[in-house]
Structure 1
Amino acid sequence: MMVHWHLLLTAWSVLCITVRGDSCSDACRTCAGPEHNQCLQCENGWILHDNTCVDIDECGTELGQCSPTTYCFNTEGSYECHGCDQACVGCMGRGPARCKKCSPGYRLTGAKCLDKDECSEIVLACPGLDEICVNVGGSFRCHCAEGYIRRDNVCLRKQLPSVDEKGLFDDIQDDEVEVLQQMFFGVVLCALATLAAKGDMVYTSIFMGAVAAMAGYWLSDRGDRMLNSFLKGR
């Protein structure tokens, strides 16, 4: 009877170790111990070999199911589908060297699908005389030359904004005109005063008349300003 109880306790302890998945290695679903070679059953994506869980390479079997525009990339316990290079139509791996076929605008050069330079290979790739060909991956674009703009699929010269020609004194302000007038009369008066100082009666008369005119203008202008100020004050 004691022997039967000992066997039952041993079986129970083994069962407990087997069921306790937290004590197993990562790939083991059930195990006889924490070591990686003590597995009894593996997780999905793994296969048991000599009590060790070995990763299944789904990409090397029919388990890896990826679309024609992607390729299979194996991971631990599973796989991923990665997109092909833009130069490829179908691929077996990453990059332009793993293409099954080259995309339009690309050609097989050596072991890689490389972009064709349509701008240098096609005569008059851009038909317009004012267009510039710009090569891009797998194709090309036609841009308008500098100083031109595309309108209705035609490159037209940009219209520069018209600027009316202005005279020398078109932008001058009223107060600036008054200053220039005063400077002009000042120069004239100085010249007349110089000639009058030599005793010439004609220039002396002109000088005195100019002074009187300037004084009258100054007084009349000052009187107008005082009158306007007085009227505004009322």
Structure 2
Amino acid sequence: MSRSQWFFLSAVLCLAHPELILGQNCSENCKACGGAEKDQCLQCHAGFSLHDNMCVDIDECGTELGYCSHNTYCLNTHGSYQCRACDKACSGCMGGGPARCRKCAPGYRSSAMKCLDIDECGEETLACPGLNVICVNTEGSFHCPCAEGYTRKSTGCERDQAAAGEGTGIFDNIQDDEIEVLQQMFFGVVLCALATLAAKGDLVFTSIFMGAVAAMFGYWLSDKTDRVMDTLIRGR
């Protein structure tokens, strides 16, 4: 029966039966009634239907009255309905939670009647290929940041300059001519010590001192010869 028919019937009943009540003093959900009891309803509010003179809630989710878009589900309420979002693990659902999915969303798989997150970092297929890359699993996905001390460049994860210099030793950046000076200083100290001991008349240290002097002279002569030959070759 349409609203206009109900209104006409209510008006006729009110004229024929002045004891009928419209709105006020009716039971909950009744728009027009013949008394305050629930089973004395004559007309219901929107969202309710008349059944045996009682106003019963309409389940819009079970009819075409309730329409919810994709990845939402219909929740019936008192006199109406709501469209609520599906769980993020679902691609379409019949209710709330990962156990009410129609199918699982990307990044999830069905397990124990639920859609659960896939740990891509624990799969047999390598999720993050490349050197110095680590795999970090997230809910429904994953990402591949560079390891500590590395920065992502076009060619991959490259070591930071600051990090690259952290492992250098005290003599790593020393130049060749500086090494030569240090060597000469070292041998000078050793010769000085041996000369001091030799001056005291110790035959052993005297022999060592003479041998060291001969070795130093031979090294010096050899180094000079190499430099002269190198200069002649370059001059040509």
- TM-score calculated relative to the size of structure 1: 0.59
Distance 1:85 1:112 in 2: 11
Does structure 1 residue 77 correspond to structure 2 residue 79?
yes
Structure 1 residue aligned with 2:107:
105
Which stretches in structure 1 are left out of the alignment for 5+ residues?
1-8, 164-234
After TM superposition, list the pairs within 5 Å mapping 1:166-177 onto structure 2: none
- TM-score calculated relative to the size of structure 2: 0.59
Structure 2 residue aligned with 1:48:
50
Structure 1 residue aligned with 2:18:
13
SS of residue paired to 2:102: coil
Matching residue's letter, 1:160:
A
Structure 1 residue aligned with 2:64:
62
What's the Cα RMSD here?
2.5
C-alpha deviation, 1:11, in angstroms? 3.8
Distance 1:47 1:105 in 2: 44
SS of residue paired to 1:73: strand
- After superposition, the Cα gap between the structure-2 partners of 1:137 and 1:153, relative to the gap in structure 1 and judged at 3 Å, is farther
How many residues are paired up? 153
- Name the larger-Rg structure: 1
Matching residue's letter, 1:32:
G
**CA deviation vs aligned residue, 1:54-82 (integer Å, no higher than 9, x gap):** 11111122222111211110001111111
C-alpha deviation, 1:22, in angstroms? 2.7
Distance 2:82 2:155 in 1: 44
Matching residue's letter, 2:40:
Q
Distance 2:76 2:111 in 1: 29
Matching residue's letter, 1:65:
Y
C-alpha deviation, 1:126, in angstroms? 0.9
Identity across matched positions, percent: 61
